[in-house]
Structure 1
Amino acid sequence: MKLTHFGHACVLAEFDSGERAVRVLLDPGTYSADFEDLTDLDAILLTHEHPDHLDPDRITQLAKTNPAARIIADPGAGDRLREAGLTPEVARPGENLTIATVTVEVLGGEHAVIHPNLPCVTNNAYLLDGRLLHPGDAFTIPPSDKPLDVLLVPAAGPWMKASEAIDYLRRLAPRVAVPIHQGGLAEVHRDLHHQLLTNLAPDGTRVEVLEPGTAHTY
């Protein structure tokens, strides 16, 4: 499996299927960059409708250059995409999908609470190939007791505290944790959050901060 981080919550996951890699792009949003020219995508997955996870203009561009790619979204993101003239597949927690040879378990259900006075939106977490978890904006716990290979762990956001991310990382104890969702932080604070995750990770977990735009193999 190869992962390329395009900043914030946007990650390209590539899975070896023998003849060619299955390429899945997750959460191409407004805080992310340099994913616009990707080709040969099999699917684009959206966890929820907030702009930092969903940029309708650039997703429309991707749909034109990747006409065979499936666009899969939670109900709220599905509404935003239809408003942009796209035709997404709406997926809900409890469903199991297959993208080429890659299985996708849809988990989650709701975005973490930012404030009780703000409306809560839907949020899908996606477990790909039983190995890679993108939780969106929530601390979703996979139902399986099988050890998780790679967790895309939220590092910061208005809906969370650093201590919650650390506790989430410790509970899931993946082999590798890749910090995401740090696009709203100044560099000095971004480094601090990454350092906290690294220093307080559980035994057996390696935290890797990915260089944007560079593929890493797992």
Structure 2
Amino acid sequence: MQTTHYGHACVLLDTGAARLLIDPGVFSEGFEGVSGLDAVLITHQHVDHLDADRLRPLLDANPDARLIVDSGTATQLAEKSIEHEVVSPGAAFDLAGARIEVLGGDHAVIHPDIPVIPNNAYLVDGTHLHPGDSYTPPSGPVDVLFLPTGAPWLKISEAVDYLRAVAPPAAVPIHQAILSRPEIYYRLFENLAPKATTLKVLDHAQPTTL
């Protein structure tokens, strides 16, 4: 499977059968020109995962792409009259030859005073897991984990424990745009990862086969 990281939480997965763009948000760049999409998947409603202003032209340029979102995102898309499909954790479906399982349920806690919102994690073809803003465990072994690296809700020790619990052959750091020196976090992941896990920091907007 070919993976392209457009910064922060936005990744393009090309399975060979389907082209799936996940979480095109305000901190991501370069996804605007992506074509041939079969679907855009949104994990949750926060702007760093969903840039509604750039979403509409992206969908206009990809008229066959389905927009698949969590329940919390649906309200703001309805207000903008953007057609979408809502999926919930526990769902599984086929899309253009790819198999997508919806995991998770809740965004990680930012602070007890801030309400918890819905969050979908997406497992593609049983191999690549994008957890959104959560530490959602996969339903079984995965080949690639897109690993949240920096966020108001994220404690680095918890991220390391999540990496160790999933123990994928490859971990790709994402959700790093708010960090001025993400390399410090990458080194921690490299030093503390399971022995069988290799950290893969992807070059921006460069397709990579993992």
What TM bracket, shorter-length normalisation? over 0.9
Within a 5 Å distance, the mapping from 1:179-198 to structure 2 comes to 179-186=173-180, 188=181, 190-198=182-190
Please state how far the C-alpha of 1:151 moved relative to its aligned partner. 0.3
The C-alpha deviation readout for 1:64-115, integer Å capped at 9, x for no partner, is 0001000000011122222222111000000001111100000000000000
Q: In the alignment, what sits opposite 1:13? A: 13
How many residue pairs get matched? Answer: 210
- Alpha-carbon deviation of 1:143? 2.2
**Letter paired with 2:29:** A
Q: Return the alpha-carbon distance in structure 1 between the equivalents of residues 89 and 194 of structure 2.
A: 28
Partner of 1:29 in structure 2? 25
Q: 1:214 aligns with which of 194, 206, 209?
A: 206
Question: C-alpha distance in 1, partners of 2:79/2:21?
Answer: 21
TM-aligned CA deviation for residue 160 of structure 1: 1.2
The residue that corresponds to 2:151 in the other structure is 157
The aligned counterpart of 2:35 is 39
1:1-218 pair list within 5 angstroms: 1-17=1-17, 22-144=18-140, 147-186=141-180, 188=181, 190-218=182-210
Paired letter, 2:46? H
Secondary structure in 1 aligned to 2:45?
coil
The superposition leaves residues 41-72 of structure 1 with CA deviations (integer Å, 9 ceiling, x where unpaired) of 00000000000000001110111000100000
Question: % of aligned pairs identical?
Answer: 50
For structure 1, the 5+ residue unaligned runs are none
Query: Structure 1: how far apart are the matches of 2:76 and 2:176?
Result: 23
CA distance in 2, matches of 1:175, 1:81: 36
Aligned-residue offset at 1:198: 1.1
Shift of 1:199: 1.1
Structure 1 consecutive aligned stretches of length 4 or more whose deviation exceeds 6 Å: none
Q: Which runs of 5+ in 2 are unaligned?
A: none
Which TM-score applies when normalising by structure 1?
0.95
State the Cα deviation string for residues 170-205 of structure 1 (Å, max 9, x = none): 01000100000001111x2x1101111111110110
Q: Following the alignment from structure 1 to structure 2, what is the Cα–Cα distance between the partners of residues 83 and 184?
A: 28
Q: Report SS of the residue matched to 2:30.
A: coil
SS at match of 1:12: strand
Amino acid at match of 1:118: I
CA RMSD of aligned residues (A): 0.8
